[in-house]
Each structure stands twice: as structure tokens, then as C-alpha cells.
A = this chain, B = another copy of it.
Amino acid sequence: MLFAKSLVEKSDKMVKPKDAVQKMSPYHPPTSGRGKKLRLDFNENTIGCSPKVIRALQKIDSNAMSVYPEYEDFKPVLAKHLNISPSELILSNGTDEGIKMIIDTFMEGGEEIIIPTPTFAMFKFYASVAEAKITEVLYNEDLSFPTDKVLAAINPNAKLVVLVNPNNPTGTSIAEEDIIAIIKKASENNAIVLSDEAYYGFYEKSSINLIKKYDNLFVTRTFSKAFGLAGIRLGYTLSQKDNIAALAKAGSPYNVSTLAIIAAKAALDDVEFVNKYTQEVRDNTDWFIEELSKLGLSVFPTDANFVVVKIGEKCGEVCDTLKEKGILVRNRTRDPLLEGCIRITIGTKEQCDQVLRELKTILGK
């Protein structure tokens, strides 16, 4: 009893986190021991990175490890790959930090972020830490992008409009004319637009060219998905150079590791590897959806390397049974619009076949 009392007293006098953080729930994606399973739960590349990356990492020496990272040689290589100028680009510790950098640089507490939802959790997460006013706009029932609702939501208090193209977890993309309409409405309201292209490669359209024309657009990309380098934590943000200079002012000078730079440089030296893989995934998509449909499941259309599959009430059970069979998929039933749905990453033909076989057994088909 005394012990319990003293604990309470202690907890009362402890310095508390700021209000915004106290109100947040912890974000704990389930990520332990995934490497040896068939990883279809996080939309990673399912075959590993280019062997050239491994060979480049094997050459690193002990002295290079001790030096603070240097980015000046790498940025022009990446810029050339993207057909932009190095001054239009800033590196980040995964896209995660890119998102945080944009919020930290542009948003005052109380300003509004517009987030079409369901989407990647980190937008709301960093906006909460920054004490932004969060306005979630629901995707359409068919998981298509709610252009009119997003346009209607943009108001003079809005500072940032988030687009994820194609979106995770819905898999759906946004038409370029809609993106432009949103950029224009945002600009009239002194707001910026962030278009996250994490799934570029699997989806072949991009808004990068729009940064030349619209000075309130930011595009984020990552090496975590198509390039098969989720482990290195490397993303980047593209925008007009004044915007990039502003992000650099608020960003950390050594945010990306030397090893990430070595790996990414080698990966860019073997884009054929990535192109072949993304082509294979795109080729599998229609067939995989058709096969899933044959099992009596309804599957939403997708422009990314994953599909949303409606399982219904047994959705959690199906995920658990697949896990027992060594296949990881993601239960999305708690997301708005996705009740009873799981999300499955599309891998190689063989990997898709493996999922189909197990699902057939589980569903008794």
C-alpha cells in the first residue's frame, strides 16, 4: 500500500509531456522477425535489393565509417536520375522525416492540415506532435480520391494539403487535373501541397514536373519500396529551390547515414533491376486480382504494389492463419471504409501463387 502510494505521488510530480503528445496514442507497427517470412504486409519490395548494393557495401572501410556523412557527391547523381537540379532536392531519413521537415518548416501551431483518409499514419502523427488542426476528408466509398471534398475543405486556415499518389492503404491514384486543381486552390489560400509518391515505380505517373510550374508543391519519394531499401532509411523531397532551402534551414545536417548513401548510389547504378521487378509486379496485378475474385473475394482496383481485399468478419482470423503459414499480410479492418479488409502486397508470380494456395485452403475453396 505504501509502495503504491509513493508511486502515485511520484507520477503526480513527474514533468509531463506537452498536451498534444499526452493526447496521442503510441504508434507500434508490428515489425519483429519479419525477414524470414513472406513479407506481404508492408508493401516492401519482396525480392531484395540489387546485388550491386551489397557489393558496394562490402567495400566500405573503417575510416569511412568514422566520418560524418557527406551528401555533396550523391545529390547530383540523384538529381540527374530525376532530371531536376540538386537545389530542388533534399534528402531525409526515410519519407517519415521528409514529412516532419515540411510540417516543422511551414506549419504554425493551430494551422490546418487536410488529410484524405484512410492513409499512411505518419501524416496525422507528425501533425499531432506539431499541434496542427487536423481535418480528415474521407475517401469515396469505392476508395477513389474525393477531389470535390478536398477542394471544398481548403480554406484560409489550411496550410498543408496531403495527397498520397497512389494512396496507401487504398491503392488508388489521383488524376493529374485533380492534383492541379488542388494545387491552385491551395495556392489561393496560401497553403502548400505535399504529394507523396512512395509507390512510384509500381505507379508510373508522377507530379515531379509540376514543381517547375507550381511553387507550393512538394513531392516526396523513397528508396524503401520499389528499390528494396527500406532498411537504409532514405527518402527525399522535391520542390522549387527556395522551398528546399527553407526545409534545409529547419532540417538536421547529418540526417542520412553514409551507408544509405553508398547503398542508394549503387542502386541508382542498377535501375534495370528495379524496373524489371516493378514490371513483374505490374504484370501480376490484374491476374492476382482476378484469381482473388475467383475465390469469391471482392478486391478493389489498385495502382500500387498492393491490393485491398474484402474478407468480412473473418478478416482477423485469415490474417492469423496466413501468419501461421509464414505469410504476413496487413489487417486494415480498423481503417475507415476498410472494415473487414486486408491489404496484401503483390510480389512475384510465385509469391502470389503461394498466397492464393493458402487462401484457397483457408476459405475452403
Interface residues of A (CB under 8 A from B): 10-11, 13-15, 17-19, 21, 24-29, 31-35, 39, 42, 44-51, 53-54, 57-58, 60-70, 72, 93-94, 96-97, 100, 104-109, 122, 129, 131, 159, 187, 190-192, 215-216, 224, 228-233, 242-243, 245-246, 248-250, 252-260, 263
- Given A232-B257, A257-B232, are A62 and B51 also a contact pair (CB < 8 Å)? yes
Residue from the list B67, B233, B252 in contact with A100, Cβ < 8 A? B252
Q: In the bound complex, do residue B69 and residue A231 qualify as a contact, i.e. CB atoms below 8 Å apart? A: yes
Chain B residue nearest to A42 in the complex (CB): B68
Contacts of A159 in B (CB 8 A): 15
- Given A49-B62, A250-B129, are A257 and B242 also a contact pair (CB < 8 Å)? no
Q: How many copies does the complex hold?
A: 2
Shortest beta-carbon distance from A332 to chain B in Å: 17
- In the complex the two chains form, what is the Cα distance from A260 to B256 in whole Å? 11
- In the complex the two chains form, what is the Cα distance from A202 to B108 in whole Å? 41
Q: In the bound complex, do residue B232 and residue A10 qualify as a contact, i.e. CB atoms below 8 Å apart? A: no
Q: In the bound complex, do residue B65 and residue A250 qualify as a contact, i.e. CB atoms below 8 Å apart? A: no
- In the complex the two chains form, what is the Cα distance from A116 to B310 in whole Å? 58
- Given A21-B250, A255-B93, are A48 and B66 also a contact pair (CB < 8 Å)? yes
- In the complex the two chains form, what is the Cα distance from A64 to B57 in whole Å? 13
- In the complex the two chains form, what is the Cα distance from A255 to B29 in whole Å? 13
- In the complex the two chains form, what is the Cα distance from A32 to B42 in whole Å? 36
Q: In the bound complex, do residue B35 and residue A249 qualify as a contact, i.e. CB atoms below 8 Å apart? A: no
- Given A232-B65, A259-B57, are A216 and B253 also a contact pair (CB < 8 Å)? no
Q: In the bound complex, do residue A18 and residue B252 qualify as a contact, i.e. CB atoms below 8 Å apart? A: no
- In the complex the two chains form, what is the Cα distance from A224 to B254 in whole Å? 11
Residue from the list B28, B49, B94 in contact with A65, Cβ < 8 A? B49
Contacts of A258 in B (CB 8 A): 231-232
Contacts of A131 in B (CB 8 A): 109
Q: In the bound complex, do residue B48 and residue A62 qualify as a contact, i.e. CB atoms below 8 Å apart? A: yes
3 closest pairs, A vs B, by CB? Answer: A48-B62, A231-B258, A66-B228
Shortest beta-carbon distance from A205 to chain B in Å: 24
- Given A62-B48, A62-B54, are A68 and B31 also a contact pair (CB < 8 Å)? yes
Q: In the bound complex, do residue B70 and residue A17 qualify as a contact, i.e. CB atoms below 8 Å apart? A: no
Contacts of A29 in B (CB 8 A): 68, 253
Contacts of A228 in B (CB 8 A): 62, 65-66
- In the complex the two chains form, what is the Cα distance from A314 to B32 in whole Å? 56
Contacts of A252 in B (CB 8 A): 93-94, 96-97, 100, 122
Q: In the bound complex, do residue A67 and residue B96 qualify as a contact, i.e. CB atoms below 8 Å apart? A: no
Residue from the list B14, B44, B107 in contact with A66, Cβ < 8 A? B44
Contacts of A32 in B (CB 8 A): 70, 72
- Given A67-B34, A253-B28, are A21 and B246 also a contact pair (CB < 8 Å)? yes
Q: In the bound complex, do residue B66 and residue A49 qualify as a contact, i.e. CB atoms below 8 Å apart? A: yes
Shortest beta-carbon distance from A58 to chain B in Å: 5
Contacts of A46 in B (CB 8 A): 66
Q: In the bound complex, do residue A129 and residue B104 qualify as a contact, i.e. CB atoms below 8 Å apart? A: yes
Q: In the bound complex, do residue A224 and residue B68 qualify as a contact, i.e. CB atoms below 8 Å apart? A: yes
